[in-house]
Structure 1
Amino acid sequence: MSDSNTTDYTNPSTFILLGIPGLEAAHVWISIPFCTMYIIAILGNFTILFIVKIEPSLHEPMYYFLCMLAVTDLVLSTSILPKILAIFWLNSKEINFSACLTQMYFIHCFTAVESGIFVAMAFDRYVAICDPLRYSSTLTNCVIAKLSIVVVLRGAILIVPKPFLARQLPYCRTNIIAHSYCEHMAVVKLACADIRISSYYGLFVAFNVASLDLFFITMSYIQILRAIFRLPTKDARLKTFRTCSSHLCVISASYIPSLFSFLTHRFGHNVALYFHVLMANVYLLVPPMLNPIIYGVSTKQIRNSLLRLFTPPLPPRQKDKPQH
């Protein structure tokens, strides 16, 4: 298909993804850290899922939510990395129109699901620290299942209008997407029609997902910190805070790059395009790589399970024979 910017069509059969505009000469070099992050994310998240499955002591609410996070991270990174590597290595820039909208849906849907999982994990820590005696009766398997369904359905339903609205738009200007994947605003900006509805709906979803979730997480941790500071000894306070440290690190690693990318896309008109596209890739690739590392290092139960998995058992000691 021609890359002409004057092609007249209303429903393109394919889009052209440019990768990282302005850094085309460095695509092969950029692919090395991207591919490394993807391999670490795949190995790390599958390891988390395997350990939780085989270790009965990890069959608790906190680790069920961690498994949900691992699956979400696997879907997010797999939604974009194979196509990005095809662009970087094979110069395969074309993507089918329907495949582009499908990729858009999966990216935004599972980003919203991940945010909801963070809220569920914050609620888990709140109950464990602020009301530990009722932890087992509050977070039953039935409650966990209902929370999980709500988190997934919220993301799935909220994002449905995005590809639906994008499909209705006429694309008569260009089929070239100045991005490495089918990000919502990068696609609808190619339309030769009023895109305010799509833009406003994107803002509405961002507010309802990120803002509300951050609000609930913040409220949970305010109560958690109040409970921690009421503990009688410094050692008890430190030990309790460590149970939340991994969750706080994961939230920071996920929200800070995504909020920066969102604000740059909306308001950073003077920011170089290649920098914006790089940040848009970072916030989808770095958290799936970091999350299993953070939980593997900072969570004692997972760390001990890993050591048992990779350390051969010591042979049984033989009793000394009695001297005659």
Structure 2
Amino acid sequence: MDVSRLGQNVSPSYTEFLLLPFPGVTLYRQVLIVPFLFSYVLIMVLNSLISYTVWRERSLHAPMYVLISLLLSMNLLSTSTVLPQMLPSFFGQTRIPLSRCLTQMFFAYSALIFKSLVFVLMAFDRFVAICHPLRYHNIINQKSLLQLWTIGLVRNVVLVSLLVFLASRVQYCKSNRILNFVCEYMVLLNLACGDVSRAQLVGLLVRTGVTFSDLSIILIFYLRVLHTALKITGGGKRHKALQTCGTHVLVALTVYSCGLLASILYKVEESISPDSQNLSNVIYFLFPAVVNPITYGLGVKEIKDCLVKPWRKKCLSNTWGPPAGVSRGPMVTSIEY
């Protein structure tokens, strides 16, 4: 596909753009910084807290928890790529060169596609753990996970680099106003000259291809897990297996549902306002980053126990600790925290 000729005779070709998120909001526009700044701080704190807890606790160094930590790290990357550039725009027009716009696109899309890869690896981990428990350590190990991660890394880098390359070869002459808070591939192409239908088709194929292929693999793994879990005679073991997988499925469905909503709104963009498109992108980029750490922090018992352990120790120490200058008695020293 040669998109280098698209609009080659049209001038001028903009190399700098203006980010204008929520253009329909004019009155008290600066107030919008409050919820987005609060969301950014909340995302940074929650995702960092869970990731640090997994890194700190040796009992959480199993593959499943490492993958959870990796997923939350992608939340940090995606939001840190988008929000710091977005927040100043509420106080005026934020200028962004095309090179920085494409860089933002690369890292934001990479983080989103890596999340999908992590969901696949999570499903594979639970599939092996529940359906083939005796072979778990032979199948799920550092070497195998590294190989799978490398394959996914190559796939993701190739696909995202393709989109960035196509976007960089297009001339933009319709406008330099991006009515969004992020340099989305489709948003940029709407500003391009000439026929960009083939470039748009590539973007659509990449987005839907990654989503449906990864989602199909995830569903196959979890259906096998459900089939095996229902055969487990012990009610407690069955409940634990289904609860752990249920948390993963809930998080995955949240991310894929937000992505599907954003894709649908892109298809009907002519019939909706730019503010509605911005809202769909907020849901796509920010909502999962807030919900995911809360879901894992409350839904995975091992992580929740490690999160509350320092506070539990502090409370027990304050309750049972002797006053200053008084030595601990036998009853106190016998308590196990």
State the TM-score, normalized to the length of structure 1.
0.91
> 1:269-280 maps to which residues of 2 (within 5 A)?
269-280=270-281
**1:134 alignment partner in structure 2:** 135
Please name the residue that 1:4 is paired with: none
Superposition map of 1:1-324 within 5 A: 8-10=11-13, 12-25=14-27, 27-88=29-90, 90-267=91-268, 269-311=270-312, 312=314, 314=317, 315=321, 318-319=329-330
Secondary structure, aligned partner of 1:94: strand
Whether the 8 Å CA contact 1:110–1:155 is kept in 2: the answer is no
- Runs of 5+ in structure 2 lacking a partner? 1-9, 323-327, 332-337
Letter in 2 for 1:281: V
Distance 1:173 1:164 in 2: 20
**Contact 1:44 1:289 (8 Å CA) reproduced:** yes
Residues in 1 aligned to 2:243 and 2:34: alpha-carbon distance in whole angstroms: 34
Q: Report Cα offsets for 1:127-177 as digits up to 9, x if no partner.
A: 111111111111011112222222233211111011211111122221111
Match of 2:6 in 1: none
Deviations 1:235-262 (A, max 9, x none): 4332221111221121122111111111
Identity of aligned residues (%): 31
Hey, what's the Cα distance between the residues in 2 that align with 1:183 and 1:94? 16
- TM-score (structure 2 length as normaliser): 0.87
Distance in 2 of aligned mates of 1:203 and 1:172: 23
How far the C-alpha of 1:233 sits from its partner, in A, is 4.4
Code of the residue aligned with 2:12 in structure 1: it is Y
> How many matched pairs?
312
How big is the shift at 1:186? 0.5
Aligned to 1:182, the other structure's residue is in SS state coil
Superimposed CA distance per residue, residues 284-324 of structure 1 (whole angstroms, 9 cap, x where no aligned partner): 0111111111111111111111112334263496227xxxx
Check the 8 A contact 1:296/1:303 in 2, yes or no: yes
Q: 1:196-252 CA distances to partner (integer Å, 9 max, x unpaired)?
A: 221111112113210100100110111011011112244433222111122112112
| Aligned residue identity for 2:201 | Y
Cα contact 1:37–1:286 (8 A) shared by 2: no
Counterpart residue number, 1:3: none
1:297–1:303 Cα contact (<8 Å) kept? yes
* TM-superposed deviation, 1:92: 3.8
CA shift digits 1:5-63 (9 cap, x unpaired): xx9422x2310111112123354333322222211111111112211111111111101
CA contact (8 A) 2:123 2:218 kept: yes
Q: How big is the alpha-carbon RMSD for the aligned residues of Structure 1 and Structure 2? A: 1.8
| Contact 2:181–2:278 (8 Å) recurs in 1 | yes
- Work out whether residues 86 and 93 of structure 1, in 8 Å CA contact, stay in contact via their aligned partners in 2: yes
Offset, 1:268: 5.1
**Cα offsets for 1:92-124 (capped at 9, x unmatched):** 421111101111111112111111111111111
> Does the aligned pair in 2 maintain the 1:34–1:285 contact within 8 Å?
no
Determine if contact 1:169/1:193 at 8 Å carries over to the other structure. no
- Name structure 1 gaps, 5 residues minimum: 1-6
User: Would the aligned equivalents of 1:162 and 1:202 in 2 still touch at CA under 8 Å?
Assistant: yes
Q: Distance between the aligned counterparts of 1:32 and 1:246, measured in 2?
A: 31
Q: Which whole-Å CA distance do the structure 2 matches of 1:268 and 1:172 have between them?
A: 20
Task: Single out whichever of 103-112 and 149-158 deviates more from structure 2.
Answer: 149-158
